[in-house]
Amino acid sequence: MAVKGSKYRQLFTGLAFIGPNIAGVFTFVIFPVLFAILLAFSNWDLTKHNIFKDEPLYFVGLDNFTRLFNEGDFVRFLLNTLFLMMGIPFCVAGSLFCAMMLNKDNRGGGGKIYLYLTASALLFVGCIMLTLVGMGASAMTLLLAGVGGTVLISGLGFGQTIFRTLFYMPHFTTGVATYLLWKKLYDPYDGPINNVLNPVLGYVEAGVKVAPSPIVYMMHLALVVVVPVMFAFVLKRVYRWWQDGDLGSQGAFVTILITCIPIAVLVMKFSGFVHWTGKLEAVAIGGASVVMLLLFAIKWWNGKPFQIVEGMYGFGSALAFSLLMLVLMFIAIGLSMVVGNLPEMAQSGLEAPHWLTDYHWAKPSLMIMGFWAAIGSNNMLLYLAALTNVPKGLYEAAEIDGAGRFQTFWNVTWPQLAPTTFFIAVMSTIGGLQGGFEAARTMTEGGPSGATTTLSYYIYMEGFQTGRLSFSAALAWALFILVFTITLFNWKFGNRYVND
C-alpha cells in the first residue's frame, strides 16, 4: 500500500515540476503557432481586429501567400537572408578548426611560465613608457600585438583551458554589446579595422601604380585560372566518388551543374558573347550536360566497371561539397575582378570599405561579424566533445597505414564527426534562416536601403509597425516551410551516421 501511495506522490511531484513548463509551452509556443496558421489565412489587421474593434474577420485563402510573391520585398529580404547564410559553411569549418586546435595540449614546460610572465611585464612597461613620451599610437599597436602574444603565451603556459574560455567568450557576451562593439570596429574613418586596412591599401595603391601593367594582368589571369582548376578538382572528386559507388548519377550531375555556374559566368564574361547575358542557367545546364557525357565517355573508354548505386545516393555530401566549392570559386572570380580593376581603382585612390553604411558591404560586414561569433559558439563545444569520442585506435591504424595529417583527417576524423556535423548543419541552417533580427535592429535598422533586412526583421516590421498581422503570419509560415523543407532535405541527404 505504501508503494502505491509513493507512486502517486512521485507522479504528483513530477507533474508539479514539469507542469509549469508544459503550461508555458502550450501558452506561449503551441497556441501561438496554431493561432498563426489561422491568422495567415485571414485578413486579420490590427487596425480592424483587436479588443476595441469588432469588424468581421474573413477567410482569404492564399491571398496573403500570393501577395508575398507579388511584392518584391519578400524575395529581396529572402535573398538577403540566404546571402548571410553563405557564411555558414565557413562558420562550421571555423568551429571545427578551432575545436581541433583546442583539442591539442599545447602547454609549455618547466620554467617557461616565468619567462612568459616577465616578457608580459616588460611589454606593459614598454607601452607605458612609449605613452609617456608621447608615442601613444605606437604604444597602442605594441599593446594590441602584445595582448595577442600574451594570449598565445598564456595558452602555452596554462594549457587549453584559457583558449577554450577565450574562444567561447563571444557566445556568452550579450549580443547587443557585441553589436555595438562591432559598429565601432566598422567605423568607416576612425574604426580599428579601416585603420589597419588603409595603410595596407596605401601600399597596394603605390605598388599597383608602379607595377608594370602586364604583371597586374598576369595576376588577374592567374586568379581566373584558379576557377577552372577548382572545377577540375571537383570533377576529379566527383568522378572518383561516382566510380567507387559513393555517388549516384543524379547526385553527380547536380554537383557538376552547381559548380558549372561560376564556369558559365567566366565563359560569358570572357567569350565576348554579350547576347548570352541573362542566359546563365542555359549555359550552366548545357555545360554540365556536356561534362557528364564526357565523364560517361571517359568511364566507358577506361573500361572500368561501374559501381551501380541509386541515382541520389551520396547526394547530401556531394551537395555540401559543391556549395562550398561554388562559394570558393565565386570568391576567386571576385578577387580576379578586383585585381583586374586595380590599376583603374588605384588611379582614383584605394579606399577601405565603408562597411555598414555601404549598400554592397553591409551584408558582408554582418557576415564577418557572424563568423566571429559563430566559430567559438556551441558548435565548437559540440565538435570538441565529438573529437574526444573518436576512437584512438582508428588514428593508430591510420598511422600504421602511413596516412598523413590530411588523410587522417579526411578518412578518420571527418567521417567520425558526421553526426555532429549533421546536427550543426541543421541547426545552423535553421538559425541562419530565422536570424539576423538583433543585428539588423541594433546596427543597421535593416539598411542601407534594405540591404540587411532579413526575413525575421521583415516579419517584425509587418507585424508591429504596420499592424498587418495576417501578412506577418503568412511570412512566418513561409519561413517555416522553408526551414522545414531544408531540414527535410538535410535529413534525407545529409550524413547522419558515422558509417554513411
Partner 1 sequence: MKYIFLSIFLVLLLATFALLSSYPENNTTTPTLYWVTDANPARKDQVEGFQEWLVKHNHVNDDNEPAVQLKLDTANRSDDKIIIQGVSGIGGDILDTYGGTGIRFLGKIGMLDDVTEHAKANGYDVSQTYAPMKEELMVNGKQYGFPCNVGAQIFWVNKDILEEHNQPIPSLNWTVEEFEKLGKAYIKSANKPGERQKNFYMDRIDLILIYRSMGFSSFNETLTATQYNDERFIKSLRLLHKWTYEDRILPSASDIASFNSQQGYGGANLQLFYRGNYAMIQTGRYALIQLRKFGAMNLAAVRPPYLDYPNTVVGTRSAVVYVAGKHKEYAKLFLAYLASEDYNMRIVKTADALPPNPEYTKVEEFLKPKDYPNEWGCHEVFSDAANEIGIGYVYSPYVLRQQMNRYEGDAINAVMSNRMSAEKAASQLQQQVMADIKHNVNLKKYALPELVEQYHKDVELQNKIDELKKQGKKIPLSYIKNPFYRKYYQDKGMVE
Binding site for partner 1 (CB under 8 A): 13, 17, 43, 46-48, 50-53, 55-56, 58, 60, 67, 71, 183, 186-191, 354, 356-359, 447-450, 461, 464-467
Taking the C-alpha atoms of residue 335 and residue 350, their distance in angstroms, rounded to an integer, is 15
Give 237 or 441: the residue with its C-beta nearer to partner 1.
441
Give 368 or 386: the residue with its C-beta nearer to partner 1.
368
Give 67 or 269: the residue with its C-beta nearer to partner 1.
67
On the CB side of 429, how many CA atoms lie within 13 Å of its CA?
20
CA-closest candidate to residue 320, choices 402, 429, 236, 208: 429
Give 416 or 453: the residue with its C-beta nearer to partner 1.
453
Q: How far is the CB of 344 from partner 1 (least distance, A)?
A: 17
Residue 435 identity (one-letter amino acid): G
Q: How far is the CB of 194 from partner 1 (least distance, A)?
A: 9
Give 353 or 370: the residue with its C-beta nearer to partner 1.
353
Phi, psi of 353 (to 5 degrees): -60, 155
Contact between 116 and 157 under an 8 Å Cβ cutoff? The reply is: yes
Q: How far is the CB of 140 from partner 1 (least distance, A)?
A: 16
> What is the per-residue DSSP string for 170-200?
HHHS-HHHHHHHHHHHT-TTT-HHHHHHHHH
Give 50 or 165: the residue with its C-beta nearer to partner 1.
50
Taking the C-alpha atoms of residue 222 and residue 212, their distance in angstroms, rounded to an integer, is 16
From its phi and psi, is residue 204 left (phi > 0), alpha (psi between -120 and 50) or beta?
alpha
Q: How far is the CB of 342 from partner 1 (least distance, A)?
A: 20
Q: How far is the CB of 402 from partner 1 (least distance, A)?
A: 55
Give 300 or 359: the residue with its C-beta nearer to partner 1.
359
Taking the C-alpha atoms of residue 229 and residue 220, their distance in angstroms, rounded to an integer, is 15
Give 27 or 466: the residue with its C-beta nearer to partner 1.
466
Q: How far is the CB of 38 from partner 1 (least distance, A)?
A: 15
Q: How far is the CB of 191 from partner 1 (least distance, A)?
A: 8
Q: How far is the CB of 183 from partner 1 (least distance, A)?
A: 8
The three-state secondary structure class of 54 is strand
Give 71 or 396: the residue with its C-beta nearer to partner 1.
71
Q: How far is the CB of 462 from partner 1 (least distance, A)?
A: 9
Contact between 226 and 253 under an 8 Å Cβ cutoff? The reply is: no
Give 388 or 465: the residue with its C-beta nearer to partner 1.
465
On the CB side of 414, how many CA atoms lie within 13 Å of its CA?
11
| Helix, strand, coil share (%) of the chain residues, nearest 5 | 80, 0, 20
Phi, psi of 284 (to 5 degrees): -65, -45
CA-closest candidate to residue 81, choices 444, 423, 408, 430: 430
Taking the C-alpha atoms of residue 251 and residue 311, their distance in angstroms, rounded to an integer, is 6
Contact between 166 and 111 under an 8 Å Cβ cutoff? The reply is: no
Q: How far is the CB of 220 from partner 1 (least distance, A)?
A: 25
Q: How far is the CB of 173 from partner 1 (least distance, A)?
A: 22
Instruction: Determine which helix (DSSP H) or strand (DSSP E) holds 50, and give its type and residue range.
Output: strand 49-50
Give 43 or 421: the residue with its C-beta nearer to partner 1.
43
Joined together, the cell numbers standing for residue 278 give: 541573362
Taking the C-alpha atoms of residue 467 and residue 479, their distance in angstroms, rounded to an integer, is 19
Q: How far is CA 134 from CA 127, 140, 378, in A?
A: 11, 11, 44
